[in-house]
Amino acid sequence: MNNTNDKLSYTHVNLTRWVSSTIAPIILLGCAIGNIVSFFVLLRPRLRKETTSIYLAVLCVAEMGTCYTGLLRQFLIDAFSLDIRSINGFSCRIHIYFTYVFLRLAPLILALVTLQRYLFVGQLALCSLKQTIIQLCSCTLFVFVAEFHLFIFYDFTHSDTRPRNQSPLECTVDTLRHGKYYTFRSKIYPKLSLVLYTIIPLAIIIIGNALLIRKVREASKRSRSKTNKKRSITRMLYAVSILYTVLTSPAAIFLALAPQSYQLTPRFRLEWTLLRLLFYLCHSVNFLLFCASGSTFRQELVVFLKTISCCCQLNCTDRKVKHNEVKLNNRVRFIPDTTRNNAEQNQKLSTSKLADNSSGVL
């Protein structure tokens, strides 16, 4: 019976590592390319007039940070058995801190942009560029301060789930030095974060988009010509909000409901890996959603790509011109040298002939 359990555990571990090391690079590559391109397109002059585009551009940065702090670490563990947090105490604290900062920023920004879009489309409040920047900075500062306890109390120390004498060092909280904080982190913090960063943002996103749909329909009936651009950006927000709700909710619910004892089993690791990959997939497909749902975004994307191609062609042309100039300069330098050598050789031949003639006369 023990041999069967060991084989099953070994199979789960290998399957988990294979799935993670195979799918994670694809998600990371799509996340980098999609979010970088989306960031620059959303900040183009035509789109950045809408404050929603600025929120979505910052959301691209938060989602890229989420993938490259969380998913990249897990990929390195599964593919190369390399844990960034196990290098030293500082790498442990700084990595887990930024992992949770980016993880918390994404839902708050999405909830904030949904609320702002509803107020703007419903003409209940106008949001200027200055107000948008203040709101984004305030949200970011709140998350940085709220999650700073992770940087203070986490360290590269003994495990909190295994016997202290038998466990290797890992990035966690020292239960002997910080017993009260360990109780807070184990019992209070998960429930608090679930409410603050999952339930409340999802409620705002779902209710806000439902109300936003009604406001957009009312606005489109009043004036069709003025709402085309608004509807395009609003559709982009719909797509991002719906996908975020569908792909991130299962992981949050599963982690909140799974018992502590079950989280130590190999089966949990496989299930959690699949749900985590689904969660990170949400942060890497926004570019596709923007292209599919936003006509204005597609137009600006074409202009952006043409601008890049023109810049590349100009650089290639400049390099060719410089290369031709170098060749021409080399030829110009080479011609006088050859003529000078020919003249010297002719002069030598003439002097040798004169010498021969004079010797013949003598």
Place of tokens 């979505």: 56
Between 360 and 266, the more confident residue is 266
Whole-angstrom Cα distance, residue 44 to residue 65?
Answer: 22
Whole-angstrom Cα distance, residue 323 to residue 325?
Answer: 5
Question: Which residues does 36 contact at the CB level (< 8 Å), separation at least 6?
Answer: 60, 64
pLDDT score at 354: 41
Question: Which residues does 108 contact at the CB level (< 8 Å), separation at least 6?
Answer: 139, 142, 143, 197, 201
Mean pLDDT (whole number) for 3-19: 70
pLDDT score at 75: 93
51-78: per-residue pLDDT in tens? 888 999 999 999 999 999 999 999 999 8
pLDDT at 95 over 90: yes
pLDDT at 362 over 50: no
220-260: per-residue pLDDT in tens? 666 554 556 566 777 788 888 888 888 888 887 787 777 76
Mean pLDDT of the chain: 80
Q: Of the segments 2-6, 267-271, 305-309, 312-316, which one has the largest average pLDDT value?
A: 305-309
Instruction: Tell me which CATH code domain 2-293 carries.
Output: 1.20.1070.10
Mean pLDDT (whole number) for 86-101: 93
Whole-angstrom Cα distance, residue 12 to residue 269?
Answer: 8
pLDDT at 124 over 80: no
Between 192 and 330, the more confident residue is 192
pLDDT score at 102: 95
pLDDT at 147 over 90: yes
Confidence grade of residue 96 (pLDDT, cut at 50, 70, 90): very high
Lowest mean pLDDT among 177-181, 227-231, 296-300: 227-231
Q: Where are the domains of the chain?
A: 2-293, 295-357
For residue 68 the two structure tokens come to 């490259």
| C-alpha distances out from residue 84 to 100, 133, 343, Å | 15, 33, 72
Between 160 and 57, the more confident residue is 57
For residue 29 the two structure tokens come to 């590559």
- C-beta neighbour count of 300 within 10 angstroms: 22
State the pTM of this model: 0.80
